[in-house]
Amino acid sequence: MEGKIKRLTDKGFGFIESGSDKDMFFHSSALQGVRYDDLREGQEVTYDVGQGPKGPRAENVQLKED
């Protein structure tokens, strides 16, 4: 899946604009090849959809390569 980072928090998690009605939650532990502190809102990412305790979440989140 692909999306854009919509919102980042200072608590180590954020949300990806996925193109559907609901944004996709992700936690900093789901990042691959990038540090949470290096992420910026609006960056394009790829991710897998997984299941967390509160519903769907993004896993294996990586910055999209051009």
Q: Report, as an integer, the average pLDDT of 11-20.
A: 94
pTM of the model: 0.91
SS (H, E, C) 20-50: CCCCEEEEHHHECCCCHHHCCCCCEEEEEEE
- State yes or no: pLDDT of 33 exceeds 90: yes
Q: What is the pLDDT of residue 38?
A: 96
Q: Report, as an integer, the average pLDDT of 16-35.
A: 94
Instruction: Give the right CATH number for 2-63 from 3.30.70.260, 2.40.50.140, 3.30.1360.120, 3.40.640.10.
Output: 2.40.50.140
Q: Where along the chain do its domains lie? A: 2-63
Averaged pLDDT of the chain = 95
Model confidence over 36-61: pLDDT tens digits?
999 999 999 999 999 999 999 999 99
Q: What is the pLDDT of residue 21?
A: 87
Amino acid present at 25: F
